[in-house]
Structure 1
């Protein structure tokens, strides 16, 4: 499942393309696309399906999936209404992307009006399918706020989507009614969310005084290999702490990736969910297994902000491991350049200046949702004043794969 924006291509095309680029390996396998987007001009009660046999763009004809429409015939929230589709851009701007990245496919386009999350989710359940089916939800984020205010609002909205929050309002996203139902269905199917990009028209081609927000997200079933790596990392981290405390160890599976060079952070939370320690490295100078074990011990016993972990803390402890991706330069001679380049909810950042260094993981955006707050905290962590800046400041960004234990 993809969530993509639907503004003019000059404004949001680059953001949407990051989601559609993921489909290259599925080009021949996906044969049906279920496309949902909000109505902007024609009021609809429920979800409007077209009566026509096909949609057409300059790239060719796309047949409507008549069999899927027949499967929805008995659902009262699904209506046949060509008037809702005729002027609607939220669906049509997605079609050239789909025609470019997929081979032959049938389309089930649904224009979403006044519909509850349960009503939208019920429709998606009927047509969920398997690997042959792609679900696309078309939505922009906030509308016509000043740049900084939009960044704050959109960052919060994205974090809510990553938590499968189904109470989004239309002030958060114009496609909120479709999004809420899709998130409900995605959570029911155990999908994992990945944020690909979040920006606004002030970053692309618009006036920063009045912007529209855009985000691209992908949802998929966790791969067996990814799940296995998470199990191995979490068990290794827990056992590294257990050996020091002389507590019982857990079964520890192996994984080939543990023997390869890697860098990670280990974060500990207590029974109340409060931070209990966090340590890590950004340079992959040892094996991932060595790194996770060393960082787990350091988070438990060497984080100067907290007392050393004891056996009394063990039962309520939860562990999170974040495996770092490659570090990439974030070029910014001015602080304003850095603030515009940062991607809330996506980027972890390393700051270097002289003998000062600080690192913040992408998870920190949940507490500091604006680029200004995030960068100020990063400078503070590096031992610099929150208002400090110099042209020689060096920033590197990275993404993470996060694995966390589930509370019993």
Structure 2
């Protein structure tokens, strides 16, 4: 039997009932219009807050995987650690993650390529930054296995090295989990997030201070994207004042897609 890391934010960040969860995710995806000519992205940066806040923004990224997601074999998801401080990157000791929609197996074959990454269930067990993406992935890439990476104090070069070992071909997609600025006024959030978005679109690994809670995984991915000459596209840039809640203190969310060939879109 597989050792399973249970869902810990079901019922809080997203519905705990599988029927409600499936309907909510499918509704968010259906609300996104994807141009027919858009190719499959190699990577996404998408937010990890509760679905009422960031779900529509995350869906703008995941909708890009729907047409060919059934062919995906592996999704590498990397996000920040909100509960544990540590050096480098960490994998769980579990062999699968669980959500109300079922089990997502961890790709053990892929893990053999990254022996430099530590294993720690203590780091992964309380962390939501990876879990909240799984229901979306279960709907758009139901056959894909998972490589879940929590990123601690790691340089862009360290993260890029791990991603290089996992890069693969069209069977593999990378998902970077990060919200943007936190607990600013609506106006200040828009200003900071616009600057962060500009840096991401330049593949610049030096982000504005306080610009992203997932600065380490984002910067590491951008280093890998720069080396691989990926082409970025901003899909959505909003904050909790646009989606749910007041505008006195808001949290920013952005969705970005990265392509191996240049798209015709600006």
The residue aligned with 1:198 is 237
* Residue in 2 that maps onto 1:108: 147
Change (3 A) 1:156 1:4: same
Match of 1:9 in 2: 51
- Give the length in aligned residue pairs: 224
Contact 2:163 2:224 in 1 (8 A): yes
Partner residue of 1:179 out of 190, 207, 218: 218
CA RMSD of aligned residues (A): 1.2
Runs of at least 5 residues in structure 2 that lack an aligned partner in the other structure: 1-42
- Rounded to whole Å, the distance in 1 between the matches of 2:71 and 2:86 is 33
Query: Counterpart of 1:253?
Result: none
Match of 1:32 in 2: 74
Residue in 1 aligned with 2:102?
60
Distance apart, 1:152 and its partner CA: 0.3
Residue 124 of structure 2 corresponds to: 85
Question: Given the alignment of the two structures, is residue 164 of structure 1 paired with residue 181 of structure 2, yes or no?
Answer: no
After the TM superposition, which of the residue ranges 113-122 and 26-35 deviates more from structure 2? 26-35
Number of the residue aligned with 2:251: 212
SS in 1 for 2:254: strand
1:36–1:178 contact (8 Å) kept in structure 2: yes
Write the distance in 1 (CA, Å) between the matches of 2:110 and 2:60.
28
Q: Which has the larger radius of gyration?
A: 1
For residue 70 of structure 1, what is the aligned residue in structure 2? 112
Are residues 53 and 132 of structure 1, via their aligned partners in 2, closer, same or farther at CA, if it must alter by over 3 Å?
same
- Over 6 Å off, 4+ runs: none
Q: Render the CA deviation track for 1:170-223: whole Å, top value 9, x for unaligned.
A: 611000000001001011111110000000000011220000000000001115
Shift of 1:169: 5.3
Q: Give 3-state SS (helix, strand or coil) of 1:222's partner.
A: coil
CA distance, structure 2, for counterparts of residue 216 and residue 145 of structure 1: 19
Unmatched segments (≥5 aa) in structure 1: 231-400, 403-408
1:124 matched to which residue of 2?
A: 163
Question: Displacement of 1:2 after TM fit?
Answer: 0.2
Alpha-carbon distance in structure 1 between the residues aligned to 2:217 and 2:66? 25
Q: Which residue of 2 aligns with 1:134?
A: 173
The alpha carbon displacement at 1:28 in A equals 1.9
Greater relative CO, 1 or 2 (CA 8 Å, sep 6+)? 2
The superposition leaves residues 56-89 of structure 1 with CA deviations (integer Å, 9 ceiling, x where unpaired) of: 111011111111111111x2xx211111111101
* Number of the residue aligned with 2:12: none
Give 2:137's aligned residue.
Answer: 98
